[in-house]
């Protein structure tokens, strides 16, 4: 039997176990002034690089004695496998991409944390690609990102996830993807959906139950599907309680703190001014807080404020913000898990719909109107 034949099956030759164990012990004395490589592990274990790769990728085609020896050497010399090394056995990069065009930084951070949690468990890495859909290079940049990184799959965050041309680019590249959106836009295998309507309806019911009738609303940007979902549900639920949202009590923001300030200034300088404002995300709600303070309006005595997202800022504001909890971390985790399963099993069909539901969290910023 040649030296190359035995490693192919992951079996050390008879009589070599004691010698290999000695080599493993000697690996403790590793003193080279460079990081160890997969070739160093193979040389110390007296096996091929392919056998080491199989052990790294937890292949069943390696016997336990060889696996134990190789894992011992990896630990002793501090070798850290790269995604490229892991891909030798499976012809994959073990890289996922996250594509987003969103002004709400906290939402993106939460999504990213959820994706990273799933990636760590599965041995994948994450590469992010912020983009600008208004740029003439938007689609070409996205295409080059996928090709340059040799991605196994892409998670697309709204509003970029609602762009049909971007989806067509991913399909043409043969790149698996999962889209996050407030409504289903694709086959179930490609979607993770969050239900904004229920949360917005709960806000309307909450304000109506408190006795508010003069209600202001700061909508999200019209290019976001979520903005339409939240607005339509909120208006419809108010009507169910006999309340009409007046056109002059509606302002369109940009999901940013600054736009919340601007919209709140317009609403709170009108007569009669609203007794409550529903801002379509927590960043804009925080902008309302600042404007109210500047105008000498007390929260919640003179003004009830409700947000959407339940981002960390909601509990850092004073009084703490009543808001709708959108579990963004769960969205990211579910999207990554769904994508990794498809990549690992090479299955495209039979996937059920995946989604999360938004729920209201009542805190100190919402009380009945005065008088």
CATH 3.40.50.2300 fits 91-195+328-358, yes or no: yes
Phi/psi for 158 (5° steps) reads: -65, 150
Find out whether the peptide bond into 345 is cis, omega within 30 degrees of 0. no
Rg, C-alpha atoms of the chain: 27
- Rounded to whole angstroms, the Cα distance separating 56 from 38 reads 10
Which residues neighbour 83 within 8 Å (Cβ) at sequence distance 6 or greater? 93, 94, 95, 124, 125
If you write DSSP's letter for every residue of 168-188 in order, what string do you get?
HHHHHHT-EEEEEESS--S-G
Q: Provide the pLDDT for residue 7.
A: 42
Task: Give the distance from CA 226 to its chain's centroid.
Answer: 16
Q: Provide the pLDDT for residue 310.
A: 95
The burial class, CB within 10 Å (0-12 / 13-18 / 19+), for 174 is exposed
SS3 344: helix
Task: Say yes or no: do domains 38-89 and 196-325 share a fold.
Answer: no
* Second-level CATH architecture of 196-325: 3-Layer(aba) Sandwich (3.40)
Which residues neighbour 169 within 8 Å (Cβ) at sequence distance 6 or greater? 139, 142, 143, 146
**Would you tell me how many other CB atoms lie within 10 Å of the CB of residue 160?**
22
SS3 213: coil
> Which residue ranges make up each domain of the chain?
38-89, 91-195+328-358, 196-325
- Rounded to whole angstroms, the Cα distance separating 258 from 283 reads 8
pTM value is 0.74
SS3 322: strand
pLDDT along the chain (371 residues), means of 10: 41 47 50 77 88 71 87 85 54 86 86 94 90 94 94 95 96 95 91 94 98 97 92 97 96 96 97 96 97 98 97 96 95 93 64 80 97 70
Superfamily of domain 38-89: lambda repressor-like DNA-binding domains (1.10.260.40)
SS3 277: strand
Q: Provide the pLDDT for residue 82.
A: 63
Q: Provide the pLDDT for residue 75.
A: 84
Q: Provide the pLDDT for residue 121.
A: 81
């Amino acid at each position: 039997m040649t030296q190359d034949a035995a490693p192919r099956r992951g079996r050390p030759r008879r009589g070599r176990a004691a010698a290999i164990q000695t080599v493993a012990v000697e690996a403790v004395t590793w003193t080279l002034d460079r990081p160890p490589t997969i070739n160093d592990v193979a040389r110390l274990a007296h096996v091929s690089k392919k056998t080491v790769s199989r052990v790294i990728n937890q292949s069943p085609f390696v016997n336990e004695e060889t696996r134990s020896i190789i894992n011992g050497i990896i630990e002793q010399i501090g070798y850290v496998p790269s995604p490229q090394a892991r891909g030798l056995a499976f012809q994959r990069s073990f890289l996922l991409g996250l594509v987003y065009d969103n002004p709400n930084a906290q939402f993106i951070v939460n999504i990213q944390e959820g994706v990273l949690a799933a990636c760590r468990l599965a041995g994948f890495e994450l590469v992010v690609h912020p983009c600008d859909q208004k740029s003439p290079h938007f689609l070409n940049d996205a295409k080059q990102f996928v090709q340059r990184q040799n991605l196994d799959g892409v998670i697309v965050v709204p509003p970029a996830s609602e762009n049909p041309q971007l989806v067509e680019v991913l399909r043409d590249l043969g790149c698996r993807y999962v889209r996050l959106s407030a409504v289903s836009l694709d086959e179930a295998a490609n979607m993770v959906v969050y239900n904004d309507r229920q949360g917005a309806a709960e806000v309307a019911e909450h304000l109506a139950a408190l006795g508010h009738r003069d209600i202001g609303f700061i909508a999200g940007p019209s290019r976001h599907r979520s903005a339409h979902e939240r607005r339509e549900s909120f208006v419809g639920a108010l009507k169910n309680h006999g309340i009409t949202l007046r056109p002059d009590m509606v302002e369109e923001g940009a999901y940013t703190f600054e736009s919340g300030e601007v919209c709140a200034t317009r609403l709170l300088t009108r007569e009669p001014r609203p007794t409550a404002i529903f801002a379509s995300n927590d960043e804009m709600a925080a902008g309302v807080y600042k404007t109210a303070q500047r105008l000498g309006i007390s929260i919640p005595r003179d003004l009830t404020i409700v947000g959407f997202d339940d981002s960390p800022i909601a509990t850092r504001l004073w009084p703490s913000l009543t808001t709708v909890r959108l579990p963004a971390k769960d969205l990211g985790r579910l999207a990554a898990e769904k994508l990794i399963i498809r990549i690992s099993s090479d299955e495209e069909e039979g996937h059920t719909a995946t989604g999360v539901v938004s729920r209201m969290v009542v805190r100190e910023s919402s009380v009945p109107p005065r008088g």
